[in-house]
Chains A and B, each alone.
Chain A
Amino acid sequence: MSDRPHTAGIAYVRHDMLSEQPAPSTSRGIVAWLRESLFSSIPYTLLTLLCLYILYVIIPPMVEFLFTDAVWTGADRAACATQAQGGMQPDGWFGACWAYVGAYTNQFVYGRYPDAEQWRVNVVAVMFFGGLVPLLIPAAPFKRENIVFMAIVFPVATLILLTGGHFAVGGLYVPLLIAAVLVLAVVFAFAKLSESDPMPGLRSAGLLFVALAVLLFILGFDFGLRPVGTSRWGGLLVTMVIALTGIVASLPIGIALALGRRSAMPIVRFASIVFIEFWRGVPLITVLFMSSVMLPLFLPEGVSFDKLLRALIGVALFSSAYMAEVVRGGIQALPKGQYEGAMALGLNWTQMMRKIILPQALKLVIPGIVNSFIALFKDTTLVLIIGLFDFLGQIQSSYSDPAWSSPVQSLTGYFFAAFIYFIFCFSMSRYSQFMERKLDTGHKR
């Protein structure tokens, strides 16, 4: 081989690598992005222009109404009415009246809960968020203790704080004692007949009744709190009470129904299916009508429920049917091997469900539970139709106050309500999406 390269006849040969060049200016930066995603073809350009037009139609009037033309301070309706309407705004003025919302904020949150007692609601709120936030953060410790707190301590404390406690439960001790004796006898007889050790059953039944007795004692104890009737509750307080009670009550009922629907026992399966399909087939508002006008008829003479309690029962029944379907989704998503594995280990049905199936299934459906909570939270607005004052109902009832009545009052109130509901629901749906990504362990099929 000679030293001379074979390329002698070629005019120019590059011997070193070229450094990387940036992409041509037409395919990078803001211009390229605009061309790619907004103006790539004539139809796209037209669509983009249409969108811009829609924004132009919607955004400026909204900003004007909500911010630039809005009234932020004022003492009464004069601040938010035009001169023709007896106020101080120029004629043709149309803006939000935030002064009215400011004057009513307390009512929107607490309803007609007495001012001196509102600290109790605040304590409940602090307990709730203090218990909930660590529960929602997957990495936070003490999950088990936290769940016990939220499932047992918090509801009892809330009930006592909000109503004032000191319930007339004195007459219930004797029935409880009779029930305890009866149940213990049945458990004992059952164990004897099935030739097994009666002690574990007796012990757990006994513990249950001791717990019930303690609960009765606490409910009847006079903590010195002033009683506040549910007719004075309102606003965000009622919304939260209904939504939370609904979801908390619907979880155990829903799990039971879901298991019942997948049970091999025909009567149980049939009853579960009928229950679930019935509540899922009717609108919530008819359920609320039913619980408010029909339920009292089914109770014996002299027994009557509070209006709020009746609504709570309706909501709980309704949402437990939906919860059952959510939980069933989780149970069905587990591969069959989980069941076979549990059976092969010799676990009985209860053990299999408690230790193998439900923990996995419930974990899978956390996003579904959050979603049904969002739906329930939105559905709580329906209670205003049966005359309860939830957040929206409280806002609506404030329209009858002549001190603030003006043409912009209702729109302002509705925008405020929409904003608050949006904040709650949107953050919950974001959380549910976060959990969905986190829980996606490849189990789902």
Chain B
Amino acid sequence: MAVTDVTPNGPGSAHDDSAPKVALLNNPEIRGWLFQVVLAVVVAYLAYSGWKNMNANLQAAGIASGWAFLNNNAGFAISQSLIEYNQASSTYGRVYLVGLINTLVVAVIGVILATIIGFLIGVARLSKNWMVSRLAAVYVESLRNIPLLLQIFIWYFGVLRLLPQPRDGLDFGFFGLLNNRGYFAPKPVWGDGAIYTLYAFIAACVIAWGIGRWARARQMATGQIFPAFWVGFAVIVLLPVIVFLAAGAPLTWDVPVAGGFRPKGGMTIIPEYIAMLVALSTYTATYIAEIVRAGILAVSKGQTEAAHALGLRSGPTLRLVIIPQALRIIIPPLTNQYLNLTKNSSLAVAIAYPELTSVFAGTALNQTGQAVEIISLTMLTYLTISLLTSAFMNWYNSRVALVER
């Protein structure tokens, strides 16, 4: 059990009446308050003088302050934008949004990839196959001991930039083209009625959830087991496919064609994004792998033996006994890694992937000079993302946590 509060006052403050009269300053409570007031005054003074200096300095340098610049025209191009952005008319506020979305795009995909790689490597390190476990160990030890920024540089300048020109790039046929201008992927073009497939998918998810609930209730009541997972899985896969085919398969692919200067058609994934994604996910995966390994090792062997003794086979043992307990240990540090990955995505500024730090705290700051507003907004954004993520993971953690005593 954690020691929750360490009182600064030793024993003695409880018996006021019988205690001998002591000087006011020897009363630990008063002493504590005096100390806190002094601290608050010092902090307030520092903040005030910083504020005053800042205003004086800004005035001396002739830099405008305030948030009006967010409505000014930015006038620079951004190489990747998921929302509409154009160089001629978009504002700094738009730049912020584009940057934020690009950060989230690389962070969310990176988190998913890192989790998959991390779990695979973590399990592989525990494998009884000597080759597999050694290889996983080498992967973890080598990648986590090299700075992330260096890995980003290696992927970007050392690999993607050394790919051939578009003229003689790698051609994967339907799966697109890879050259030093990025990866050109086939782009899905949805026809009429394609939206029904999405509706069908949502409906299938709801049905699968319902089947799960019903199966659980029935098992509780009668003890009969229903293969809810596989049935739900089948519903989720089959229903959208049937609807998709019934609607006349309204999907065509815009496959990129190699051209002289740059490929035509398809969608472009810029090399900066690929470098960031690969570097972030492979690097964070090493930490996740160690967390997963520690989590699985922390579930005692007796749990497996007890589950076997109760007659569970190894599949259900893993699913119902080992993984739920391991997850409990894995989730808090895993949250930290997700946050680290999100924060590390700011390293993209070094290779000019247009995320928040790069376009907003970089280019926009250089153009406007409004350091205070821009840096504060950037920091607050990251802080908000961090707090939201940890709030969500805390909620999830409290759901899977062991309810003890």
A residues with a Cβ closer than 8 A to B are 33, 37-38, 40, 44, 47-48, 51-52, 54-55, 190, 193-196, 262-268, 271, 277-278, 280-286, 289-290, 293-294, 296-301, 332, 334, 336, 339, 343, 346-349, 352, 374, 378-379, 381-382, 384-385, 392, 396, 407, 410-411, 414, 417-418, 421-422, 425-426, 429
B53 and A190 within 8 A (CB): no
Cβ of A173 to closest chain B Cβ, rounded Å: 24
Q: Are A298 and B344 in contact (CB under 8 A)?
A: no
Cβ-defined contact, A290 with B379, below 8 A: yes
Residue of A nearest to B55 (CB): A297
Q: Do residues A392 and B162 form an inter-chain contact, with CB atoms below 8 A?
A: no
Q: Is the CB of B378 within 8 A of A411?
A: no
- Minimum distance in angstroms from A166 CB to a CB of chain B: 29
**B338 vs chain A, min Cβ distance (A):** 13
18 A–B contacts from the bound complex (CB under 8 Å): A33-B130, A38-B130, A51-B135, A268-B35, A282-B382, A284-B343, A286-B361, A289-B361, A289-B365, A293-B365, A296-B57, A297-B57, A339-B3, A378-B146, A378-B147, A385-B350, A421-B150, A425-B144
CB distance from B163 to the nearest CB of A (A): 12
Chain B proximity of A183: nearest CB distance (Å):
13
Q: Do A193 and B24 contact each other (CB < 8 Å), given the known contacts A271-B39, A301-B60? A: yes
Quick one: which of A263, A281, A298 contacts B50, CB cutoff 8 A? A298
The answer for the CA separation of A379 and B157 in the assembled complex, in Å, is 20
Which residues in A have their C-beta under 8 angstroms from that of B127? 47
By the criterion CB–CB under 8 Å, are B350 and A384 in contact?
yes
Chain A contacts of B220 at CB under 8 A?
none
Does B23 lie within 8 Å of A193, measured CB to CB? yes
In the assembled complex, B8 has its CB within 8 A of some CB on chain A = yes
A426, B145: Cβ atoms under 8 Å? Answer: yes
Q: A275: nearest residue on chain B (CB-CB)?
A: B43
Q: Write out the residue numbers on chain B whose beta carbons fall within 8 Å of the beta carbon of A55.
A: 135
Interfacial chain A residues near B304, Cβ < 8 Å? none
Q: Is B158 an interface residue (CB 8 A)?
A: yes
Q: How far is the CA of A294 from the CA of B23 in the complex (A)?
A: 46
CB pair B150–A417 under 8 Å, yes or no, is yes
Give the docked Cα–Cα distance between A398 and B345 (Å). 26
Could you give, for residues 114-143 of chain B, a 1 whenever the CB lies within 8 Å of some chain A CB and a 0 otherwise? 000000000000011111100100000110
Given A196-B26, A299-B53, A418-B150: A343 and B343 interface contact (C-beta under 8 Å): no
Least distance between A179 CB and chain B CB atoms (Å): 14
Is A429 touching B145 in the complex (CB atoms < 8 A)?
A: yes
A193–B135 contact, CB under 8 A?
no
Complex: A271 Cα to B39 Cα, angstroms: 9
The answer for the CA separation of A152 and B186 in the assembled complex, in Å, is 63
Residue of B40, B57, B157 touching A267 (CB-CB under 8 A): B40
Q: With an 8 A cutoff between CB atoms, is B371 at the interface? A: yes
Contact A267 B36 (CB under 8 A): yes
On chain A, the residues within 8 Å of B1 by CB distance are 336
B54 → chain A, closest Cβ, in Å?
Answer: 5
Closest to A396 in B: B153
With A47-B129, A48-B131, A285-B347 as known contacts, state yes or no: A195 contacts B147, CB within 8 Å. no
A156–B343 CA distance with the chains assembled, in angstroms? 35
Beyond the given A38-B129, A194-B23, please list 11 additional residue pairs across the A-B interface where CB-CB is below 8 A: A33-B130, A40-B129, A54-B135, A193-B23, A196-B26, A286-B346, A297-B54, A299-B57, A385-B347, A411-B154, A414-B158
**B9 close to A (CB within 8 Å):** yes
Q: Please measure, in the bound complex, the distance between the C-alpha atom of A193 and the C-alpha atom of B23, giving whole angstroms.
A: 7
Residue of A nearest to B46 (CB): A298
Is B56 among interface residues, defined by CB-CB distance under 8 A?
yes
Q: Is A349 a contact partner of B8 (Cβ separation < 8 A)?
A: yes
Q: CB within 8 Å of A: which of B38-61?
A: 39-40, 43, 49-50, 53-54, 56-58, 60
- Give the complex CA separation of A325 and B225 in angstroms: 46
Please give the distance in Å from B360's CB to the nearest CB on chain A. 10
> Which 10 A/B pairs are nearest by Cβ-Cβ distance?
A194-B25, A425-B145, A283-B343, A281-B386, A37-B130, A298-B50, A378-B147, A283-B346, A267-B36, A281-B383
Decide yes or no whether B221 CB sits under 8 A from chain A: no
Chain A CB within 8 A of B32 CB: yes
CB neighbours of A33 from chain B (8 A): 130
Tell which of B10, B25, B35, B149 touches A346, judged by Cβ atoms closer than 8 Å: B10
Chain A positions within 8 Å of B378 at CB level: 286, 289
Interface residue? B82 (CB, 8 A): no
User: Does B302 have its Cβ within 8 Å of any Cβ on chain A?
Assistant: no
Chain A CB within 8 A of B325 CB: no
Q: Kindly list chain A residues whose C-beta atoms are within 8 Å of the C-beta of B361.
A: 286, 289
Which residues does chain B contribute within 8 Å of A290, judged by CB atoms?
A: 375, 379
Instruction: Identify B150's interface contact among A37, A277, A352, A392, CB under 8 A.
Output: A392
Give CA–CA (A262, B24) in the complex, Å.
Answer: 25
CB distance from A251 to the nearest CB of B (A): 20
- Rounded to whole angstroms, the CA-CA distance of A277 and B158 in the bound complex is 36
B375 touches A289 (CB 8 A): yes
B387 touches A (CB below 8 Å): yes
Q: Which residues of B contact A266 (CB under 8 A)?
A: 36
Q: How far is the CA of A334 from the CA of B2 in the complex (A)?
A: 9
> With A300-B53, A422-B145 given, is the CB distance from A283 to B10 under 8 Å?
no
B234 is an interface residue with CB less than 8 A from chain A: no
**Cβ–Cβ < 8 Å partners of A293 in chain B:** 365, 371, 375
The docked-state distance in angstroms from the alpha carbon of A332 to that of B9 is 19
User: B132 to chain A: which residues have CB within 8 Å?
Assistant: 47-48, 51
Residues B343 and A195 in contact, CB atoms below 8 Å apart: no
Question: Contact: A281 with B357, CB < 8 Å?
Answer: no
Choice from A190, A265, A379, A411 contacting B8 with Cβ under 8 Å: A265
The answer to whether B148 touches A378, judged by C-beta atoms less than 8 angstroms apart, is: yes
Closest to A410 in B: B157
Closest chain B CB from A239 CB (angstroms)? 10
Residue from B5, B26, B60, B146 whose CB has the most chain A CB atoms within 10 Å: B146
Interface residue B6 (Cβ < 8 Å from any Cβ of A): yes
B10 in contact with A418 (CB, 8 Å): no
- Chain B nearest Cβ from A319, distance in angstroms: 14
Q: Is the beta-carbon distance between B379 and A421 smaller than 8 angstroms?
A: no
- Asked if A264 and B7 sit within 8 Å, CB to CB, the answer is yes
- Interchain CB contact under 8 A, B350 and A347: no
In Å, the complex CA distance between A283 and B142 comes to 24
Shortest Cβ distance from B291 into chain A, in angstroms? 14
Q: Is the CB of B129 within 8 A of A422?
A: no
Inter-subunit contact B53/A282 (CB<8 Å): no
CA distance A290 to B373 in the complex (A): 11
B11 at interface by CB-CB < 8 Å:
yes
**Measured CA separation A298–B23 after assembly (Å):** 41
| A residues in contact with B6, CB < 8 Å | 262-264, 339, 349
Complex: A382 Cα to B53 Cα, angstroms? 28
Is B349's beta carbon under 8 Å from chain A? yes
Residues of B within 8 A of A278 (CB): 383
Given known pairs A264-B5, A264-B8, A411-B162, the reply for A421 and B146 (CB within 8 Å) is yes
User: Would A40 and B53 count as touching, CB distance under 8 A?
Assistant: no
A residues less than 8 Å from B128 (CB atoms): 37, 40, 44
Smallest CB gap from B58: residue in A? A297
Among A282, A297, A385, A417, the residue within 8 A (CB) of B379 is A282
Is residue B372 contacting chain A, with contact meaning CB distance below 8 A? yes
**Cβ 8 A contact of B23, one of A195, A262, A286, A429:** A195
Q: How far is the CB of A156 from the nearest CB of chain B, in Å?
A: 27
Kindly provide the distance from the CB of A324 to the nearest chain B CB, expressed in whole angstroms.
15
A301 touches B56 (CB 8 A): yes
Q: Hey, which chain B residues are within 8 Å of A40, CB to CB?
A: 128-129
What CA separation (Å) do A346 and B11 show in the bound complex?
8
